[in-house]
Structure 1
Amino acid sequence: MTRPQRQINWVVLTVLTIDAVLLAILELFFLPLRLDGVLLPRAGDVPLPLSVLLAMITTPLLVAKAASLGDRRLGIIPLAAWVLTLLVVGVQGPGGDVVLRADWRALALLAGGLLPAALVAGGKLARPGKAGR
């Protein structure tokens, strides 16, 4: 791989990692979304964790793209950034607030983002080929 290509790959990896951090914050803050008539229509005050669905779709895509940049182990970087951001912002939050409440939605967000992305990362790492490729 040429030097300009390596530099472009590092820029793309940096953008993917920043995207993972921003998505984790967005998913975390929209996790308590409810059908309560304030932001969404009123439908019995039912929780509507759309951010779990967003995490299930976007996190594996970020991991797959990062793993395709050369070294397959690079796919773990956006996943680690997503989990670290989710835990740090969720537990300490802005101004010391606890954003990640201890309920089923928090577990669904962690599992929905982490498990599919870990499966994608494992699938990329398990493929036969040259080491470090």
Structure 2
Amino acid sequence: MTPRDWLVLAVLCLDAVVLGVVQLMFLPLSFDGYLLPNLGGFPLPLMALLAAVTTPWLVSVAGSLSDRLAVALAPLAAWILTIAVVGMFGPGGDVLLTADVRSLVLFACGALPSAIVLGRVLANSITAPR
């Protein structure tokens, strides 16, 4: 990998951290009349959809930098670590990952599609000519 590739990988990992923090901060967003219209408190799964799109994309771009699995895994690992650390020991000691379905949906929507993309990167690295 060239120094430019390492810089791109560092930016991808930083993006994963920032996206993880933003997704955790807006995870409780719902139609409760406070920020959005009042529809009986119906939760808005916008952050789960954002995680389902951005995290696999970060893994895919990182996988295009190198054939090594660790390079493609780096943004996913940064995102999972951010979700775990900030979610459990958030700002001011707040617990952002609560014991409800939204936390599980956020994690599933970010990690599962990324794992599928990671598997595709691994398959491409195994079958690539050397």
Shorter chain as denominator, the TM-score bin is over 0.9
Is residue 2:58 matched to residue 1:77?
no
Bigger shift: 32-41 or 58-67? 32-41
Structure 1 unaligned blocks of 5 or more = none
Q: TM-score, normalised by structure 1?
A: 0.91
- Do the aligned residues in 2 keep the contact of 1:91 with 1:99 (CA within 8 Å)? yes
Partner of 1:105: 102
Deviation by residue 1:31-64 (Cα, 9 ceiling, x = unmatched): 1001011111111111112100000000000000
Amino acid at match of 2:83: L
Name segments (4+ residues, structure 1) moved above 4 Å: none
Partner of 1:65: 61
Partner of 2:39: 43
Deviation by residue 1:53-111 (Cα, 9 ceiling, x = unmatched): 00000000000000000234111000000000000000111121111101100000010
After superposition, residues 19-34 of structure 1 pair within 5 angstroms as: 19-34=15-30
- Aligned-residue Cα RMSD (Å) equals 1.2
Secondary structure in 2 matching 1:44 = strand
Q: TM-score, normalised by structure 2?
A: 0.93
Q: CA deviation at 1:123?
A: 0.9
Task: Give the alignment partner of residue 86 of structure 1, picking from 61, 83, 94.
Answer: 83
Q: CA deviation at 1:129?
A: 1.2
Partner of 1:129: 128
Corresponding residue pairs, total = 127
- Do the aligned residues in 2 keep the contact of 1:30 with 1:49 (CA within 8 Å)? no
Amino acid at match of 1:98: V
Identity among equivalent positions (%) equals 54
Task: Give the alignment partner of residue 13 of structure 1, picking from 2, 9, 22.
Answer: 9
CA distance in structure 2 between the aligned counterparts of 1:114 and 1:130, rounded to whole angstroms: 29
CA distance in structure 2 between the aligned counterparts of 1:95 and 1:42, rounded to whole angstroms: 29
Secondary structure in 1 matching 2:36 = coil
